[in-house]
Amino acid sequence: MSHKIIDGKKHAQIVKDEVRTRVGALKDMGWSPRLISIDIGEIGAVRVFIKNQQKACAEVGIEYENRHYSTDVTQREVLAAIHALNADPRVTGIILQRPVPPTLDLEELENAMHPSKDVEGMSSANIGNIVYGDSSLGPCTSLASVELLRTTGLDLRGLEVVVVGHSEIVGKPVALLLVEDLATVTICHHATRNLTYHTRQADALFIAVGKPGLIKADMVKPGAAVIDIGINQVDVTLPDGTQGTKIVGDVDFEGVHQVAGWITPVPGGVGPMTVAMLLRNTVVATERQKSKYEETMRV
């Protein structure tokens, strides 16, 4: 079976080029997209996210500023900071880095961000808008996963799609986005009785679970498109015999790539495209804020 690797970095670059042009046009009109990140506590993975976001923003001309808080910050203090950013016309996008300390109510913080500045698409309003067919500020990972499926050229209308994992920020929005394109979507989760029965029906299979090697070659229909959203750090023995770690997805890549028609690698698949979607959402948010401002000025 011939297979094609879906190169997330390549497709992300195409999106970044488009974003750079739109950022330039906005700046020419006096609107500079400006993203503020909020992070709380000392988490190594969050430091990496921030560094990657900073670099990606610099590549396309988006201003990026990180505001760091220690773990003893209170819910009221973070809410006050978010409200101040909502009210500041120079700030066009806000990101709240996850996880936040267990002492804080993440959902309340996410919903405190004004939906027009919630560029990660995590607020109830932006996730809910997908139900009404508006995915313009949808959750970045879900948008990225569906964009990568589109690169295969498969006609989504009537396509048998299976989504494994039903989290609010990945699995459910992926399913809703695909239904908008008239795909026939099945969602699987921990209570699904026979996962293989479902995954083998799929022309396109999305996996967002967080379990390395969950999807094996015999669970995939030959020729299917496999979009692996999982990111897992696993222990490995390095070539020099020492112990190390590496990042893998939820799919047994070695086996599945022999069977699949298309497959996203981890790393290098959904991850880079997710950052590109964050950049695109930031531009969309700025363009919308500009239109809203111009409408208000006309009245």
The residue whose Cβ lies closest to ligand NAP is 167
- CA 175, 149, 2, 196: dihedral to nearest 10 degrees? -10
Cα–Cα dist 255/287, whole Å: 44
- For the bound state, the minimum distance from the C-beta of residue 240 to ligand NAP, rounded and expressed in Å, comes to 28
Q: Enumerate long-range contacts of 120-126, CB under 8 Å, 24 or more apart.
A: 120/95, 120/96, 120/278, 120/281, 121/173, 121/281, 122/96, 122/169
Query: 26 or 275: whose CB is closer to ligand NAP?
Result: 275
In the numeric block, the tokens 């094996």 are attached to 216
Query: 169 or 259: whose CB is closer to ligand NAP?
Result: 169
- For the bound state, the minimum distance from the C-beta of residue 261 to ligand NAP, rounded and expressed in Å, comes to 21
- For the bound state, the minimum distance from the C-beta of residue 12 to ligand NAP, rounded and expressed in Å, comes to 11
Binding stretches for ligand NAP (CB under 6 A): 141, 164-167, 169-171, 188-190, 192, 195, 208-211, 229-232, 270-271, 274
- For the bound state, the minimum distance from the C-beta of residue 162 to ligand NAP, rounded and expressed in Å, comes to 10
Question: 273 to each of 10, 243, 267, 279, how far by Cα in Å?
Answer: 9, 30, 11, 10
- For the bound state, the minimum distance from the C-beta of residue 209 to ligand NAP, rounded and expressed in Å, comes to 4
Query: 86 or 232: whose CB is closer to ligand NAP?
Result: 232
Q: Is the peptide bond before 267 cis (omega within 30 degrees of 0)?
A: yes
Query: 170 or 226: whose CB is closer to ligand NAP?
Result: 170
Query: 32 or 232: whose CB is closer to ligand NAP?
Result: 232
